[in-house]
Amino acid sequence: MTTQNPQPRDEAQEILEALRQIQDSEELRAEAAKDSESVLNRLGLSGVARHAVAFSLIGLVAAPQILRAQGWWNS
């Protein structure tokens, strides 16, 4: 009996596609600002792709808010 292994997922492509979807959707960006976990679930991400996109959401959502609030250059 021969079993075929499924094609390995292309994690880089999965990450890029998820980031494109988030970037292109105001709704997803707003949801990510409130509940990033639900966005990751909605996009069906797991494993490395899930962690990479979660880390990227920090930059997309949190960093601009932090820089606005604490930016010494804004004084």
pTM: 0.70
Contacts of 19 (CB under 8 A, 6+ apart): 53, 56
For residue 28, the Cα-to-chain-centroid distance in whole angstroms is 10
Residue 6 pLDDT: 52
Per-residue pLDDT of the chain (75 residues; tens, 9 = 90+): 455 555 556 899 999 999 999 999 999 999 998 999 999 999 999 999 999 999 998 887 777 766 666 555 555
